[in-house]
């Protein structure tokens, strides 16, 4: 039984479209890099990512923002990515010890902590020690997260022991607890406080210099797109990336 010409043409067209679709999907995958980055980098890296795509029109970048310790855990468990940017050196060292890093990590920024409260600072918090007032509910980062480790250093430097109502897995979660009214105050990075704008009031921590976090970035050893990964790192550490980070409140590494 002969197949009608119209049916034959339809089958050929469908096959061509399938091949084109597969080719397009494969090409897109080959030009996409995945960046695992600390939650505090979300706004800055999103902006830097747009510049990266402008400089590399055939490439795209996907981000996974979370607490640095969570990101390392994901990578150790086999998650695929091209670049890892940590909010401290400790978690980058963990990635190196797991043999995940290609070459030497590059320090590209630094950050310090500050206190955020509801607008107007209704609890009249003026210092880190004021966070221990019995009527003040405080939220901080968990100890394994860089912002949590830094908080512990300030506790040690000030001889102050906080009693937080919750310990979060990322600095953005701490900020959200305060902006949503679930806590009176939180300890976050100055960059997060700046990004929150008038949603919070900010109280400087005089002892913040006792806990400066340095941010390293590295290409990962099993990165499928190492050349593009290196270009992204160059965008972060180059003039444009450093300008974006500085405007966000990050310090020099």
**Is 7 assigned to a binding site?**
no
**Is 171 assigned to a binding site?**
yes
Instruction: Find the helix packing angle between 89-97 and 68-76, rounded to 10°.
Output: 10
Torsions phi, psi for 142 (to 5 deg): -65, 155
Residue 213 near residue 141, CB atoms below 8 Å: no
**Is 68 assigned to a binding site?**
yes
Candidates 90, 47, 211, 74; CA nearest to 140 is 211
**Is 189 assigned to a binding site?**
yes
139 sits in which H/E element:
strand 138-141
Residue 147 near residue 188, CB atoms below 8 Å: yes
Neighbours of 127 (CB within 10 A): 15
| Binding-site residues for molybdate | 40, 68, 171, 189
| Binding-site residues | 40, 68, 171, 189
């Amino acid at each position: 039984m002969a197949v009608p010409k119209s049916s034959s043409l339809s089958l050929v067209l469908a096959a061509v479209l399938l091949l084109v679709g597969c080719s397009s999907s494969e090409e897109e995958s080959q030009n996409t890099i995945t960046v695992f980055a600390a939650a505090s980098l979300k706004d800055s890296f999103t902006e830097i990512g747009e510049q990266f795509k402008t400089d590399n029109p055939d490439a795209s970048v996907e981000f996974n923002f979370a607490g640095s310790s969570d990101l390392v855990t994901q990578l150790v468990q086999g998650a695929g990515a091209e670049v890892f940017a940590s909010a401290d050196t400790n978690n980058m060292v963990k990635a190196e010890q797991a043999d995940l890093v290609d070459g030497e990590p590059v320090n590209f920024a630094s950050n310090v902590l500050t206190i955020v409260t509801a607008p107007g600072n209704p609890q009249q918090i003026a210092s880190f020690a004021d966070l221990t007032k019995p009527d003040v509910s405080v939220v901080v980062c968990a100890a394994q997260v860089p912002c949590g480790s830094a908080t512990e250093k300030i506790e040690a430097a000030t001889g102050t022991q906080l009693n937080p109502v919750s310990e979060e897995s990322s600095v953005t979660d701490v900020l959200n607890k305060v902006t949503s009214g679930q806590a009176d105050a939180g300890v976050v990075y100055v960059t997060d406080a700046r990004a929150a704008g008038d949603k919070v009031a900010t109280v400087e921590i005089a002892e913040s210099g006792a806990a400066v976090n340095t941010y390293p970035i590295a290409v990962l050893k099993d990165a499928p797109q190492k050349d593009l990964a290196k270009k992204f790192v160059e965008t972060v550490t180059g003039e444009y990336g450093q300008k974006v980070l500085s405007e966000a409140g990050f310090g020099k590494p």
